[in-house]
Amino acid sequence: MRSERTKKGIERAPHRSLFRAMGYTDEEMARPIIGVVNSKNEIIPGHIHLDAIVDAVKAGIRMAGGTPMEFPAIGVCDGIAMNHEGMKYSLVTRELIADSIECVATAHAFDALVMIPNCDKVVPGMLMAAGRLDLPTVFVSGGPMLAGKYGNKRLSLTNMFEAVGSVAAGKMSEEELSEMEMCACPTCGSCSGMFTANSMNCVTEVLGMGLPGNGTIPAVYSARIALAKKAGMAVMDMFEKGITARQIMNEKAFENALAADMALGCSSNTILHLPAIAHEAGVKINLRRINEISETTPNLCRLAPAGDSFIEDLDEAGGIQAVLAELDKKGILHTDLLTVTGKTIAENIKNARNKNPAVLRPSDNPWSATGGIAILFGNLAPNGCVVKRSACAPEMLKHSGPARVFNSEEDCFKAVMNNRIKAGDVVVIRYEGPRGGPGMREMLSVTAALAGQGLDKQVALITDGRFSGATRGASIGHCSPEAAVGGPIAFVEEGDIIAVDINAYSIKLEVADEELERRKAAWTAPEPKVTKGFLARYAKMVSSADTGAVLS
Ligand SMILES: CC(C)(O)[C@@H](O)C(=O)O
Ligand SMILES: [Mg+2]
């Protein structure tokens, strides 16, 4: 046992005295020590209830003969951090979470880990730690929030952000906005659509790191508590069999994750997180390979923000296992891979059934023959940029128009709220990349306000920042290289024509090469916006978005 480093022999008597200080018994010390990473806090709706999940996990570990030892992980609510300086501190927590778990788990020589995340950056941060540490590891998330009800309409956080634009455009009253505010987010859990948190929790299940049900069972269902108990038992089984994270998260597992991403219509943020997680697991994900997978994977789900169903509906339809069964019918899944159930994907999906073809389209009757995400390349983004095409109005799949250039999210948001963006425009928001932001802000307020004004069918937006999973429209993010390092997006001028052809995977700044060279020669890198603290250190070290914005 790895944990013997902290508890066996005469030289470990001091260590044991410290365990005794916490009330641990000989029996508890003799058993495998399982680190239980609890990201509970009182500022994220997806995390407020996690103590109940943690208690159930610990019960499962004890039932199966282990000793759980809990330690914390931080987390940020992207919704509450949105549209202000706070959002610069969101993506960066992913690395803090991974690094801090590495520190605690190694310092205390845990034998195995159970990770309990829920929201956006906590899931990938923990998956990165799992890949780095390569211990037996099981994930059980907090589960999705139920959808809100407003009159006879169901709604989610997307509607709230879009309503802000509707009020600004005079299409909705402030009274209606306040009424919606009271019912959009009715329970604890990760926001109810196929936004980033749920995307990542679903992908965790596909990777094989979460038990069946991990991605979709609602936070308030008793089945989630039972799942947590099973996760505690599963980690003990993995420990006994010597199954570690990297045996599960191999190259084929990431291919499965990307295929499911395309079928589910996941958040564009998965294209940052999956390469970052793969990097920690020793696997390389290439953006061009992602397009190949998207080209051959049907899009089966249009949950919010692409449609009006929610994660709870996907759960009732059979959840992620039913999605995998649909994909398997097309032969696009590697099914011989091991998962935390101790069984293969083929064994896990044997009895999975699609119980609602309106929510989960059968693979021979998809929403589209191609997947939810497209990576565009061209002179404006030589290293690629990302769009969730399944949440884009069909008329915007091909668009060209004049650039409206902003050097920060704030400047652009003001212009949108003052109704200064017009039909046909291509909004450019730059110096918001991983290094330039710093921290690559998520720009749901801008994209939602445009959608709330009805402009999502007429306006495209491109940025070196990123979006929320709740963003819809021709919102093209992660433009690489970013403006702060002299990427071509830095050279766009007001009125330049930008042509986007999403299904051709192309984005073009229609300015002659010689002119772009002239602009490049006249360009100087801006001074760093932040000069102290973690953000300043992050800005110096972070890689480009096309490689996952990682620190190594
Ligand atoms: C606040 C949201 C909706 O969670 C967003 O952060 C996302 O990325 O989906
Ligand atoms: Mg987010």
Check: CB of residue 452 under 8 Å from CB of residue 162: yes
User: What's the pLDDT score for residue 379?
Assistant: 98
Question: What residue owns the CA closest to ligand 1's atom 8?
Answer: 468
| Under 8 Å between Cβ of 166 and 172 | yes
Q: Which phi and psi (to 5°) does residue 129 adopt?
A: -65, -40
Pocket probe mutation, ligand 1, options 200, 311, 444, max atoms within 8 Å of Cβ: 444
- Distance from C-alpha of 227 to C-alpha of 222, rounded to nearest angstrom: 9
CA–CA separation, 192 and 184 (whole Å): 10
Q: Is the pLDDT of residue 41 over 90?
A: yes
475 is annotated as an active-site residue = no
| pLDDT tens, position by position, 240-283 | 999 999 999 999 999 999 999 999 999 999 999 999 999 999 99
146, 134, 121: which is closest to 199 by C-alpha? 121
Tell which one of 88, 91, 120, 269 to mutate to probe ligand 1, the residue whose CB is within 8 A of the most ligand atoms: 120
Q: How far is the CA of 435 from the centre of ligand 2 (A)?
A: 18
Torsion of CA 354, 358, 364, 367, to 10 degrees: -130
User: What is the pLDDT, as a whole number, of residue 365?
Assistant: 98
Report CA(488)–ligand 2 centroid distance (Å): 26
SS3 of residue 374 by DSSP: strand
Q: Which residues contact 17 (CB under 8 A, 6 or more apart)?
A: none
Q: pLDDT for 114-157, tens place per residue?
A: 999 999 999 999 999 999 999 999 999 999 999 999 999 999 99
Query: Three-state SS string across 113-156, please?
Result: EEEECCCCCHHHHHHHHHHHHCCCEEECCCCECCCEEECCEEEC
- Pocket, ligand 1, Cβ cutoff 6 A: 78-79, 120, 157, 191, 195-197, 267, 269, 442, 468-470
Reported as a pLDDT band with limits 50, 70 and 90, residue 22 is very high
User: What is the Cα–Cα distance from 1 to 23, expressed in whole angstroms?
Assistant: 21
Ligand 1 atom at minimal distance to the Cα of residue 158: 3
298 vs 60, 332, 376, 411, 458, CA distance in Å? 38, 10, 19, 38, 26
Strands 33-38 and 67-72, sheet pairing? parallel
Nearest to 430 by CA among 402, 408, 460: 408
- pLDDT at residue number 354: 98
Distance from C-alpha of 86 to C-alpha of 82, rounded to nearest angstrom: 7
Residue 455 has pLDDT above 80, yes or no: yes
Nearest protein CA to atom 1 of ligand 1, as residue: 79
- Mean pLDDT, all residues of the chain: 97
Rounded to an integer, what distance in angstroms lies between the CA atom of residue 488 and that of residue 120?
29
Q: Percent of the chain having pLDDT more than 90?
A: 99
Residues 236 and 2: their CA atoms lie apart, in Å, by 14
Task: Note the ligand closest to the C-alpha atom of 267.
Answer: 1
Angle in degrees, 0-180, between the axes of helices 251-264 and 287-296, rounded to the nearest 10? 50
24 or 552: which carries more pLDDT confidence?
24
DSSP state of 528: P
What are the phi and psi torsion angles at 169 (to 5°)? -85, 5
Q: What's the CA gap between 343 and 337, in Å, rounded?
A: 8
Query: Closest Cα to residue 161, out of 195, 187, 188?
Result: 195
Q: What contacts 440, CB < 8 A, 6 or more positions away? A: 91, 272, 432, 433, 434, 464, 465, 466, 478, 545, 549
Q: Compute the distance from residue 471 Cα to the ligand 2 centre, in Å.
A: 10
**Helix 409-417 and helix 157-168, axial crossing angle in degrees, nearest 10:** 60
Q: How sure is the predictor about 552, in pLDDT bands with cuts at 50, 70 and 90?
A: confident
What is the DSSP secondary structure assignment for residue 465, as one 8-state letter?
S
- Per-residue model confidence (pLDDT) at position 154: 97
Percent of the chain with pLDDT over 70: 100
Ligand with minimal distance to 162 CA: 1
Ligand 2 ion local residues (Cβ < 5 A)? 78, 120, 196, 442, 468
| pTM exceeds 0.90 | yes
Q: Classify the complex by whether its ipTM is higher than 0.95, answering yes or no.
A: yes
Check: CB of residue 228 under 8 Å from CB of residue 265.
no
**What is the 133 CA–ligand 2 centroid distance (Å)?**
25
Exactly one of 468, 475, 480, 544 is catalytic; which is it?
A: 468
Given the CA of residue 444, which atom of ligand 1 is nearest to it? 5
Helix (H) or strand (E) holding 535: helix 533-541
The pLDDT of residue 367 is: 98
Ligand 1 atom closest to residue 190's alpha carbon, by position in its atom list: 4
State the DSSP code for 173.
-
Strands 460-463 and 474-477 turn out to be parallel
Q: Which residues contact 84 (CB under 8 A, 6 or more apart)?
A: none
Centre of ligand 2 to C-alpha 306, Å, is 16
- Ligand 1 binding pocket mutation candidate from 88, 185, 195, 388 (most atoms within 8 A of CB): 195
Q: How far is the CA of 121 from the centre of ligand 2 (A)?
A: 7
Q: Is beta strand 398-406 parallel, antiparallel or unpaired with respect to 497-501?
A: antiparallel
Provide the annotated binding site for Mg(2+). Answer: 78, 120-121, 442
| pLDDT, position 272 | 98
Closest ligand (CA of 199): 1
Can you tell me the mean pLDDT for 52-71? 98
Cβ–Cβ under 8 Å, residues 203 and 105: no
How many other CB atoms are found less than 10 A from the CB of residue 22? 8
**Position 169 confidence tier, pLDDT thresholds 50, 70, 90:** confident
Rg, C-alpha atoms of the chain = 23
